[in-house]
Structure 1
Amino acid sequence: MFPTPIERRSAAVQRLYKTALPFAMVLWLLPLIAVALTSVRSAGDITAGNYWGWPTSFNLAQNYSDIFTNTPLGSYMWNSVRVTVPTVIGTLALSCMSGFALAVYKFKGNMLVFFMFVAGNFVPFQILMVPVRDLTLQMGIYNTVTGLALFHIAFQTGFCTLFMRNFIRALPVELIEAARVEGVKEWRIFWFIILPLMRPAIAALAVLVFTFIWNDYFWATVLTQGAESQPVTAGLYSLNGQWVAAWHLVSAGSIVAALPPVAIFFLLQKHFIAGLTLGAVK
């Protein structure tokens, strides 16, 4: 039913695997290599059509300094921080509380509420474009960082609640029962007993939500416009000039924009892997 591990395959298959793996990795990395090389090219290389060849000159310092001195990339990066950080905090706070309520309390309509959270994850987000845009216009939060952050909090809370509810359900119920016998209040059970045990799940969701929101392009272009509110994903295209495509600046900006989620992943890598694999084995 499952593929045989490569260590148990024949010697010929293992040699083929070891030979093909480097080529597959290089093929997968080709777009990233092209972006990295383009980010250090000169504008003359781009004009001459030297897209894949070796750069005639390496303008590493000039290109990466130009995107901060001659373009509004700094404003776009700050807008991404202003959208992503509140979204991660708000989503985790709401999902921890709602997941705790759905996992611990047996009230009428518990499963109905849970299924509503699950069903929301199956709605294609593209069909919400027009109603969400109209709603932000009516509320007066269109083209604002606040409006974009509120939308992401609302949209991400469903999946995070599903994750948190299942995580809490896997915790020993005896911990909660023992605390109740001792007369501990419900909010103290959540804050001092359940929440510390949820750190792996919180770290895993923090990385996932941060990466998704930071890299979001669709809603950034639908709900915002202009350097005063657009995140970096939507603002990168504006680094092109009106008449000349400054792809070396766009590539340099793309590399800079990709650094924060990569850094967050490596900082929380230990907790991220623990949160995803918790309960995989007994």
Structure 2
Amino acid sequence: MSTTLQKTPTGAAARPGSKPKRHYGTHIFLSVMAVMWLIPLGWSLYTALRPVAATNEHGYFSFAGPFNFDNFIQAWNQGGFAKYFWNSVIITVPAVILTLLLASMMAFAVSRVSWKFNITLLIMFTAGNLLPPQVLAAPLFEMMKHFEVPYSVSDSGNMLNTYIAVIAVDTAFQIGFCTFVLSNYMKALSPDLTEAALVDGAGIWRQYWEIIMPLCRPAFAALGTLEVIFIYNDFFWPLLFIQSGDRLPITTAINNLQGQFFNDYNLLAAGAVITVIPTLIIYLVLQRQFVAGLTLGSSKG
């Protein structure tokens, strides 16, 4: 009786009924990395649930004492998180929408349209991400300071102390990364789609908006999730451009929980956990689309 050999995905012969090779090393490495990433978050949550009196009595590296949500309630009221969270929404939502819209236009131009400077522009957009944003802090501050606008737009007469300045800078620094990702994704789409539309009389705008954009929804979901996290967690630019305390985003609200002579680290931990909750909810809601956007097209040659 002859035995039929089967081919594995790598091309090697395998006997029928043989089990696939398990990558134990990869699994162990990923498990260790996951635990290392979860320990700070878990410890912050554990600290936030303990009263400061129990921590002072038993120490931070102890498991004794009661657990309650008093620190969260006090942090929410003392830090004014409701107002600061709304400020973060005002900054994050327009910045993410503008970033994805402008990046998709640029990605379409450099990936689906054959012209002289498409590769050059793509390299320029990508190279912009290699420059540390803090290097441009002083020039951008001076530019916003001397950019005069009507007092109906800004109470300072310039771009400082406005949401527009933060939105513009966040969009400018994120658009290069999104252009690079979207251009690679659009290149993987079949060129027959736009060629057939061109034969039918569809212009560039119609090809972009009605054909390519709907096919990029998984990529938009993945990038949208990342951009919400990046811009929502941004601390540097709002603190640089906004001087009015009632317009700062939620990432700066933790400063309101610090005392002059004493810091309640349990209260600070509760405030840090509160700031994490919105991004965690967004990731959990868009988790399937996020993973699909990262893996779709990975098997294409």
Relative to the length of structure 1, the TM-score reads 0.86
Shift of residue 220, structure 1, vs aligned partner: 3.2
Give the counterpart letter for 1:67 in structure 2. A
Work out which of the residue numbers 210, 219, 229 in structure 2 matches 1:211: 229
Matched, 1:250 2:268: yes
Matched, 1:151 2:189: no
Identity percentage of aligned residues: 37
**Quick check: which has more Rg, 1 or 2?**
2
Q: How many residues align?
A: 271
Work out which of the residue numbers 155, 166, 171 in structure 1 matches 2:189: 171
**What do you get for the CA RMSD once the two structures are aligned?**
2.5
Question: Hey, what's the Cα distance between the residues in 2 that align with 1:8 and 1:251?
Answer: 37
Shift of residue 175, structure 1, vs aligned partner: 0.7
Question: Hey, what's the Cα distance between the residues in 2 that align with 1:49 and 1:130?
Answer: 46
Question: Hey, what's the Cα distance between the residues in 2 that align with 1:27 and 1:97?
Answer: 39
Matched, 1:54 2:63: yes
- Which structure 2 residues correspond to residues 198-237 of structure 1 after superposition, within 5 A? 198-237=216-255
Work out which of the residue numbers 61, 73, 88 in structure 2 matches 1:80: 88
* Corresponding residue of 1:265: 283
CA 1:220–1:196: 2 relative to 1, 3 Å: same
2:234–2:251 Cα contact (<8 Å) kept = yes
Question: Hey, what's the Cα distance between the residues in 2 that align with 1:28 and 1:187?
Answer: 44
Work out which of the residue numbers 224, 228, 240 in structure 1 matches 2:258: 240
Range with bigger deviation, 21-30 or 238-247: 21-30
Give the counterpart letter for 1:7 in structure 2. R
1:117–1:158 Cα contact (<8 Å) kept = yes
Aligned to 1:36, the other structure's residue is in SS state: helix
Unpaired runs of 5+ residues, structure 2, are 1-19, 148-157
Question: Hey, what's the Cα distance between the residues in 2 that align with 1:64 and 1:8?
Answer: 42
Range with bigger deviation, 166-175 or 49-58: 49-58
Range with bigger deviation, 116-125 or 34-43: 34-43
Unpaired runs of 5+ residues, structure 1, are none
1:232–1:257 Cα contact (<8 Å) kept = yes
Question: Hey, what's the Cα distance between the residues in 1 that align with 2:53 and 2:91?
Answer: 36
Shift of residue 54, structure 1, vs aligned partner: 2.3
CA 1:24–1:201: 2 relative to 1, 3 Å: closer
Aligned to 2:229, the other structure's residue is in SS state: helix
Question: Hey, what's the Cα distance between the residues in 2 that align with 1:144 and 1:8?
Answer: 52
Question: Hey, what's the Cα distance between the residues in 1 that align with 2:297 and 2:33?
Answer: 32
More helix by share: 1
Post-superposition CA distance 1:138-173 (Å, at most 9, x none): 222223222111110111111111111121111111
Question: Hey, what's the Cα distance between the residues in 2 that align with 1:233 and 1:105?
Answer: 41
Give the counterpart letter for 2:87 in structure 1. N
1:34–1:52 Cα contact (<8 Å) kept = no
Aligned to 2:210, the other structure's residue is in SS state: helix
Question: Hey, what's the Cα distance between the residues in 2 that align with 1:200 and 1:225?
Answer: 38
1:41–1:248 Cα contact (<8 Å) kept = yes
Which of structure 1's runs of 4+ aligned residues deviate more than 4 A?
20-28, 46-49
Work out which of the residue numbers 32, 37, 40 in structure 2 matches 1:31: 40
Range with bigger deviation, 64-73 or 162-171: 64-73
Question: Hey, what's the Cα distance between the residues in 2 that align with 1:21 and 1:116?
Answer: 35
CA 1:141–1:21: 2 relative to 1, 3 Å: closer
* Corresponding residue of 1:105: 113
Shift of residue 8, structure 1, vs aligned partner: 5.9
Relative to the length of structure 2, the TM-score reads 0.81
